[in-house]
A and B are shown apart, each in its own frame.
Chain A
Amino acid sequence: MSTSDASAERGGDLRDFAKEDEALTEGFRATEETRGDVVLLHLEGFLDAHTAAEFESTMQRQVDTNAVRLAVDCEKLTYISSAGLGVFMSFIEELREKGGDIRIGALLPKVRQVFDILGFTEIFQLFETADEAVRSFQEKE
């Protein structure tokens, strides 16, 4: 994020490069928030092949810290590619084996469409809002 701020001041041609860079590497952010025993991940920006690694490490961190109940807030997730979906895919089984789950809330229509096309709706529980996703964990308790 800071590089894009800095590059905005440079102007000219650099700006274009910076933008492209941003699209490649800076366009995604995952922040963690703990709500009880549920970890809520706020995703933001573009989740594609370039940024999937970052998301993967975020997910890995959860698994490593034994956080198995993950709710994902996709309200600000503007794009997801198959690589991004692959990250969800690669963790779901392990988490479910450990008694956890990934529940996804607040998908934007375009992103939701990608989920639909791939058939992810059959695998993941989707919710209208992130709060609902979090609550769904607690209700089952």
Chain B
Amino acid sequence: MKLRLEWLLSVVLAIVACVLVVMQAPQREPYPDTKLAPAGSSIEKQAEAAARFFGVELESWRYVARTRSNTDLRLAFENDLVDPRWQLRDSFSYVAQFFGPGRDRCVVELDLHGRVVSFDNRASREPAEAMVGGPSLAAEARLIAMTAYERIWSSPYFSGERDDYGFRLTADAVLERDGYAFEWTSGPDRAGMLTWKLRFLVRDGSIVHFQISPMELEPLRAVNRARDQQYQLAFLLALIVGLVAVISAVVIMLLNLMRGRLPWRFVIRSAVLLSIFIVLDFAMGERYNRLLIALRGDYPEIVLLLTGAIIGPAAALAVMAAGRATRVATDFRRWLGMEDFLQLKWNKASVTSSFIAAFLTACVWLGISYAILAVSLDSLAESLTLASTVLDVPPIAGIYSLRTLAILLIVLFGFPVIKAHVRNRRLQALVAVLAATTGCVLVSLIEYPIGSLLLEALAHGLLLVYVYHRHGVLSAALGAIAAPVLGRAFVFFERGEFEPQAWGLGVLVLSGVALGVCTLLYLRNPSREEELRLSQEEFETLKRESERHLVSRREALQGEFALAEQAQRRMLPDHPPRVPGLEIASVCLPAQQVGGDMFDYLMLPDGRWLFCVADVSGKGVSASLYMTMLKGLLKSVCQVRSDLCDIASTLNQHLYRITGRQSFVTVVLAAFDSATSQLEILRAGHPPALHASASGSASFIDSQGMGLGMVSNALFSKKLNTVRLHLAPGDVVVLYSDGVTEAMNRQREEYGPERLEQLIKQEGRGNVVDILERVLAGLRIFQDGAAVHDDVTLMVLRARKDAVAQAADEQHLVAQTPASFSAPAAVAGPPG
């Protein structure tokens, strides 16, 4: 509940933050009084607008070339300036080249009438030609400016400084007469676009500026071909690895989705997180980058080196420890629906899936460390880049190697996770390296200008999702919020002003606080999963206990069943009644301890004896319960009704209501009138009774009748009739359940009514108990040890030779349970 609340809160806050940031972003305007050239106008138009303002005619602003490799940018312009007021007319060419992925090495060449002045902010401390002496950038810039504009302005002075995105040259050319000044700023922005700003200051205080940004860039081959090829190859390789990784991750994810192993809510929730982050990133990314670059600052290189080497890994370890200590990962995983996904046993696709697992791990570690590590990493990279300049090695090599190293370290920290998924040690290493490379590619892509914004956001989002999923809300909150927040904070402290965007920052901070508080609250909740985590010992103990419990439970159940069995057996009459003119013997053998078969003898109100064999559909406990009910029903019905059809209909009425068609009962009812020796038989869904006359013929007594409880009484009664027959002395009637006729042998042949008929024909003389036992013996021989699947119930009625009633001696026969039947038998019969 709390977790949900927490998420809801932070998601809402994050959305509010995004909306605020996005809404206020267009209002960003560093120069409030500026009269801008019409938006969307071309370079030429903007320049003309500015020139018009000054009364300067801009004859040409020629774009000569813009060329670009993966890391370098070269821009060349030719400019003709005419100022009719001072009859000045001049032209110069300007070539700027920016090197390195950060575009932080810059070479500018100014060509004034064939006089070339070059400026290199890195390699060349000695300015060419006119640049003499000054070690500082500002001095260099001033020299350049003075040289370049000597002929244009009488007393110009320039200043140069390094800026967020490289360097900035400012020419404060104060015109004594009119009091104009202008500031000229140029340099690449984060995405590698050249921003060119001219800011004119007029004496009355108003400011105009025009900005040429961003400039379109196009690929190039001309500059530094050898280095280009080197970079392109590295880039291509990295791109291929990255694409393979991403595509296979997506494919595996989709496959798992289709197989139903990965819940859709994972995708949906991840998408939500991702989109939030993308919006955040677009809004905040620039500031974040500014932070990175600013922190790189003007510190001595050794400091940067140490910072990178110590703080980076230390910060990563700290974040890792925090993630472990909080252990909210599981909850998040559950929230995301990833739980099952990660717990899958990967057998067939173990290589790919391991790779994915490791890839995720790498991303995760990258993600949590990114915000903190990247700063020091970049510092380190910076120093290496500097070193590489001195060593004349491509600067990118330093960054690449460093990143690879760092991510390898990161993956090694996450190695336990890889181990959990990959058994083979070599594979583990391979997976780690692959994952590291992939992570490296993703990070490197961020450094690249081509469409990098989208890629960066995507990478950030992926990282974030997996940070969440592996290391919990807290570390994810750190990663997600720290970067933009720190960026914003930096801007705040640097400028000392609270920009409109800072409102977004406030909300973000707030959401972070809310998230943190909720997380802490949640962590204090004692019912957490880790408390359920058991040590091996505890597990063993618990296992033993549960086994013991199971055994005792089983024993208890066995006891219960024994009691039920006894109870049910007691429900069967233990001996047949003394019925004048009739010998009776019955047996009921349940296939399981309790069963659904029963038999009963009842005296009807009209003086007839009712003999009943019933079979409840199904077997076992449920059948036995219905059977018990049937017994009671029968007993009560037979106290008031004598007509067999009435009895059956009443039973049906009750059973139809009670069983709800989940069960039904078949029954055969036989009512014997001692006075007339007449037997009336009703069959309700039950196998027909067998009648064997003393003369040796036998037949089944068929009649109409559906099972009890299947249909309502209206239909049931319509399809019901009885058969009456006169029993001659020696006639035998056998009532039985389908357990007899459907008993099977090992060849799965049924015993069948024919065999029963045959047997009764042959053996239908003598004592009813003998007949009963012969039938059971015949059945046993037929079955030949095959498993018994159904209850067997048999009732044998035999008309006495002397139809006149005689007081029969009562004798209890406790039947021997036939050997093949493990279930107990209740056989009873009068003396023969």
Binding site for B on A (CB under 8 A): 16, 19-20, 23-24, 46, 48-50, 52, 79, 81-83, 85-86, 89-90, 92-93, 110, 117-120, 122-123
Contact = CB atoms under 8 A, between A and B. Distances in A.
B748 A23 contact: yes
Given A119-B710, A122-B719, A82 B787 contact: no
A49 B790 contact: yes
A119 B617 contact: no
11 contacts: A48-B789, A82-B615, A82-B617, A86-B618, A86-B664, A89-B661, A89-B710, A92-B661, A110-B750, A118-B707, A122-B719
Interface stretch (B186-194, B347-355, B533-541, B682-690): B682-690
- Complex A-B, nearest 9 residue pairs according to Cβ-Cβ distance, in ascending order: A119-B706, A82-B617, A118-B685, A86-B617, A83-B618, A118-B707, A90-B661, A90-B662, A119-B685
Contact of B618 (A20, A49, A92): A49
B104 interface: no
A46 B750 CA distance: 12
Interface in B709-748: 710-711, 715, 719, 738, 742, 744, 746, 748
A118 B789 contact: no
Contacts of B742: 81
Chain B residues touching A, range: 20 to 34
A106 B617 CA distance: 24
Nearest to A92: B661
Contacts of A23: 744, 748, 787
Contact of B787 (A20, A83, A93): A20
A81 B686 contact: no
Interface of B: 615, 617-619, 661-664, 666, 684-688, 704-707, 710-711, 715, 719, 738, 742, 744, 746, 748, 750, 786-787, 789-790
Nearest to A22: B748
Nearest to B787: A20
A25 to B, nearest CB: 12
Contacts of A24: 787
A19, A86, A110, A119 pick with most chain B CB within 10 angstroms: A119
B789 A50 contact: yes
Contact of B666 (A46, A79, A82): A82
A79, A89, A90 pick with most chain B CB within 10 angstroms: A89
Contacts of A92: 661
Nearest to B786: A20
B684 to A, nearest CB: 8
Contacts of A20: 786-787
A118 B619 CA distance: 17
A87 to B, nearest CB: 10
A132 to B, nearest CB: 24
A85 B711 contact: no
B688 A119 contact: no
A20 B747 CA distance: 10
Contacts of A120: 706, 710
Given A82-B664, A118-B664, 20 more contacts: A23-B748, A24-B787, A49-B789, A50-B789, A52-B618, A81-B790, A82-B738, A85-B664, A86-B617, A89-B664, A89-B710, A92-B661, A117-B666, A117-B685, A118-B666, A118-B685, A119-B704, A119-B719, A123-B706, A123-B711
B789 A82 contact: no
A89 B709 CA distance: 10
A19 B746 CA distance: 9
A83 B619 contact: yes
B617 A83 contact: yes
Contacts of A117: 666, 685-688
Contacts of B787: 20, 23-24
Nearest to B744: A23
A83 B661 CA distance: 12
A92 B686 CA distance: 21
Nearest to A113: B753
Given A20-B787, A48-B789, A122 B661 contact: no
Contacts of B746: 16, 19
Nearest to A84: B617
A52 B662 CA distance: 12
B703 to A, nearest CB: 11
B662 A122 contact: no
A112 B786 CA distance: 25
B607 to A, nearest CB: 30
A82 B706 contact: no
B706 A118 contact: yes
A135 B750 CA distance: 34
A119 B787 CA distance: 28
A49 to B, nearest CB: 6
Contacts of B663: 86
A85 B704 CA distance: 18
Nearest to B592: A49
Contacts of B666: 82, 117-118
A89 B706 CA distance: 12
A50 B705 CA distance: 27
A82 B595 CA distance: 14
A88 to B, nearest CB: 10
A90 B272 CA distance: 47
A20, A49, A85 pick with most chain B CB within 10 angstroms: A49
Nearest to A27: B748
Contact of B661 (A49, A93, A119): A93
B707 A119 contact: yes
B225 to A, nearest CB: 66
A86 B617 CA distance: 7
Contacts of B744: 23
Contacts of A79: 750
A52 B617 CA distance: 11
Contacts of B704: 119
A14 to B, nearest CB: 15
A122 to B, nearest CB: 5
Contact of B662 (A82, A86, A119): A86
Contacts of A122: 706, 711, 715, 719
A122 B704 CA distance: 11
A86 B626 CA distance: 14
Contacts of B786: 20
B619 A49 contact: yes
B256 to A, nearest CB: 25
Contacts of A123: 706, 710-711
A16 B707 CA distance: 36
A24, A83, A110, A118 pick with most chain B CB within 10 angstroms: A118
B148 to A, nearest CB: 83
Contacts of B684: 119
Contact of B617 (A16, A46, A85): A85
A16 B746 CA distance: 9
Nearest to B705: A119
A91 B685 CA distance: 19
B704, B707, B719, B738 pick with most chain A CB within 10 angstroms: B707
Nearest to B706: A119
